[in-house]
A and B are shown apart, each in its own frame.
Chain A
Amino acid sequence: MDEYLALFPYTAAAARYVEASGRTFDSLMTAGEFSDSVLNKSVQRVAQAIDSDVHSKPLERDDDEIELFSYVMGRALVSCIRESVLVQRYANAEAHDAFTKLRNAGERLQDEYIARMLGDLGIPISADDNIFQLHFTDLIKYTGRLRGPQWRLVNRLNRGQVRLAKNEMIQVLAEAVRLKVLHGLPLKLSSKMCEELVPYTSPLRKAMSAVSLRPADSGPVSLEACPPCMKALLSQVKAGQNLSHPARFALTSFLANIGMKTEEIVHVYQTSPDFDYELTRYQVDHIKGASGKDYIPPGCSTMETYGNCTETIGLCKRISHPLSYYRARLKHQ
């Protein structure tokens, strides 16, 4: 078996191999030792995604067939657990894995892998001497979540094209993998199949509640942990400046989401020159919604669009949402 398929099991080539192998769900469940290894490995794959620590060690490489089919089964496990957070983490983990494998491959193999993946994922490119040229429409599909000025069209576009260095190309490929995995899940599986998988999914479910995929925002609010953009908006308000509408919306919904009470948020705006208690209270209530978390604050790219993003270095480089920034900071406090 072609090693490429085991390394990058989400590619079209791998899908063709799986198809041609004739292995079905049933045969994968009943193939004795082979099944055990595949299922075992797929549980590890998902478990690692749940853990989602970017610094965790890569899993040990198994036999190629096991690698490939453990991905297939991993998708089944994720689909049966049916948690959209898990789907996202699974996609992230596979993307991270793709990135590591591509980057660590020797030069010859690396070039081969990149070329095959580009074709496989349907990204049209003209490559020449380690420079990869893409049409901008093919690039922006993948760069939405990537942070940093080098990913913005304003800094790169030249006559409809963008030229990427090899290491950038690898990052884009990893993003393409993430989206491919993400959009392919969850699979529609019968409840019968999921029942058969319970022995494997139940420990995973436990692991999930242990790391608590839904970060609890119920703890005390820490203004210290707020991202630079929100700190900037807060200090503008403190300095008595009026915020633009999008900025006000961003700040209010952010504060509501990290658990601030309506009264506290209203209090924040008190120094604003056009402060009107009733109106502010009404607005805050409206943005907070009845459940308190109706409106998710805008992500970093929206913040950037309205000129409210103030930083692209450090932690900001790695996250794409002000809330992720906050959560990451809280964890490390």
Chain B
Amino acid sequence: MNPETKGFLQRKFGDYYRKAPVGFPPQFQKREWAFVLFDSSYPKLVMRRHKAFGSQKEVRAYLGAVAPAHVYHSTACYAYPSATRMQDKKWEGADLIFDLDADKLLTKSVSSYAGMLQEVKDETTKLLDFLMNDFGFDEKDFSIVFSGGRGYHVHLREKKLVTLGSHERREIVNYLTGTGLEAEYLLKRSSKTAMPQDISCWEIRIKTWIDEYFKRIRGLDAKIAISELASVKAIGKRRAKEIVSTLSQDASVQPLVESKLIPLNAWKSLIREAISHLKVRIDVPVTADIKRLIRLPTSLHGGSGLRVTPLTLDRFRRFAPLNDAVVFGDSSVSVRILTPATTEIMGETIKVDQSTTELPEHTAVYLMARGLAEYESRRLKSD
């Protein structure tokens, strides 16, 4: 990234910060702030850490004047947030933050940025369902934030959560990832639990998944159904046939559960299958970390120029990042393309290849921030 490009981005970011409202985290005075600047080492990330601010005015002034490429604050509150050694800061509690990022999450490769974001969004939706249903949180207990890059952050600041240590947070993460769920234990347990309240939400999820699995099997053509069932470990072809015929006689799955048709090992592999579909793929160490930094909601992501956007549940559902997180306008900017790319910002699909071209500002910023283009100042020729 050449100095002109950095200068341009910094100017644009500064314009944004001087006008836009800042979303302050609660107790922002007790948090450590950190910044990456558009300086000579950029885009290498040199983090300036251990800053603290006493007033909102100071923060706004700093952002407007410095126009950083990336802005973070600590998830923790400290008695001395600007102390440079962790042990001197005196930890007082930390938000519980879930970080769902395409880089860590995706198993198969998704080619388009939009497709990738969709997959992360689905995973985030799963997480939110767990938080509301199993953990009993209310929409007002969490905030959802588009990270400005390739994912979402979910912040929880409920009083009972902030004092949890990383060990306890790990227990929550284990829940979400289904770690420690054992088919054997579940089977033994479900045969003797009497009260419905004693069934865990995970158990209900698994039961529902298995019900639906058999419902789907029942809807299939008999031949396909048999071969699908036979592929489950420990069922085998002969049993698969019997199961399919039982299924077609009866509208509910219940008799199947009670019958001895499905051997224990097959139940186990079905349960394992269910868990792998239902669990949320989140990063364990990151979520359990009680001293980490997170992007400031409402700041700009230097690697995309997109806004780190706080969302209500409702807005999250309808959220289209390449539209709703765009803060720059469409006045034209001249750039030199380094890598051919296709963008689809503000509903406009733009294909660029190696040449100098004029682009709407939002697309130009996006390409420059991603390192795909350089700023081209327009010169008047004299010859």
Contact = CB atoms under 8 A, between A and B. Distances in A.
A136 interface: yes
Given A153-B175, A157-B200, A159-B201, A304 B180 contact: yes
B135 A140 contact: no
Interface string A273-296: 000000000000000000000000
Given A152-B174, A157-B202, A304-B174, A137 B160 contact: yes
A157 B135 contact: yes
B274 interface: no
Interface in A126-159: 135-138, 140-141, 143-144, 149, 152-159
Nearest to A153: B175
Interface stretch (B14-22, B162-170, B341-349): B162-170
Interface string B274-294: 000000000010000000000
B183 to A, nearest CB: 11
B168 A154 contact: no
Contact of B202 (A136, A155, A160): A155
A160 B168 contact: no
A110 interface: no
Interface in B115-161: 133-137, 160-161
A122 interface: no
B46 interface: no
B284 A305 contact: yes
A144 B167 contact: yes
Given A155-B189, A157-B175, A163 B198 contact: yes
A115 B33 CA distance: 45
B201 to A, nearest CB: 5
Nearest to A304: B180
Contact of B160 (A135, A154, A159, A301): A135
B93 interface: no
B185 A155 contact: yes
Nearest to B171: A140
A307 interface: yes
A52 interface: no
A241 interface: no
Contact of B197 (A152, A158, A305): A158
A163 B178 CA distance: 19
Most chain-B Cβ atoms within 10 A of its Cβ — which of A136, A153, A302, A305?
A153
B1 to A, nearest CB: 33
B208 interface: no
Given A149-B185, A160-B137, A163-B197, A154 B180 contact: yes
**Max chain A C-beta neighbours (<10 A), residue from B168, B182, B284:** B168
Nearest to B185: A149
B142 to A, nearest CB: 13
A161 interface: yes
A303 B189 CA distance: 24
Interface string A299-311: 0011011110000
A302 B166 CA distance: 11
B225 interface: no
B170 A160 contact: no
B213 to A, nearest CB: 20
B350 interface: no
Contact of A305 (B135, B136, B174, B186): B174
Nearest to B180: A152
Contacts of B173: 305
B179 A154 contact: yes
Contacts of B160: 135, 137-138
A160 B180 contact: no
A144 B168 contact: yes
A229 to B, nearest CB: 14
Size band of the A side of the interface? Answer: 20 to 34
A264 to B, nearest CB: 30
Contacts of A143: 171
B180 A140 contact: no
B202 A304 contact: no
Nearest to B158: A137
A137 B164 contact: yes
A160 B135 contact: yes
B199 interface: yes
A8 B121 CA distance: 51
A140 B168 contact: yes
Interface in B78-106: none
Given A149-B180, A157-B175, A305 B202 contact: no
Contacts of A306: 284
Contact of B200 (A156, A304, A305): A156
Contacts of B313: none
Contacts of B198: 158, 163
A279 B362 CA distance: 47
B182 A149 contact: yes
Given A144-B168, A155-B189, A305-B284, A160 B174 contact: no
Nearest to A142: B168
B128 to A, nearest CB: 15
Nearest to A124: B160
B178 A154 contact: yes
Nearest to A148: B185
Contact of A159 (B136, B170, B172, B189): B136
Contacts of B230: none
Given A137-B164, A158-B199, A163-B198, A307 B179 contact: yes
Cβ-closest 10 pairs across A and B: A160-B136, A137-B160, A152-B180, A159-B136, A140-B168, A153-B175, A149-B185, A140-B171, A154-B181, A144-B167
28 contacts: A140-B164, A140-B168, A140-B172, A143-B171, A144-B167, A144-B168, A149-B182, A152-B174, A153-B171, A153-B174, A154-B175, A154-B178, A154-B181, A155-B181, A155-B189, A155-B202, A157-B135, A157-B175, A158-B134, A158-B197, A160-B134, A301-B170, A301-B171, A304-B174, A304-B180, A305-B170, A305-B179, A305-B284
Given A140-B168, A305-B170, 7 more contacts: A152-B171, A154-B178, A154-B202, A155-B189, A157-B134, A157-B200, A158-B197
Interface of B: 133-137, 160-161, 164, 167-168, 170-175, 178-182, 185-186, 189, 195, 197-202, 284
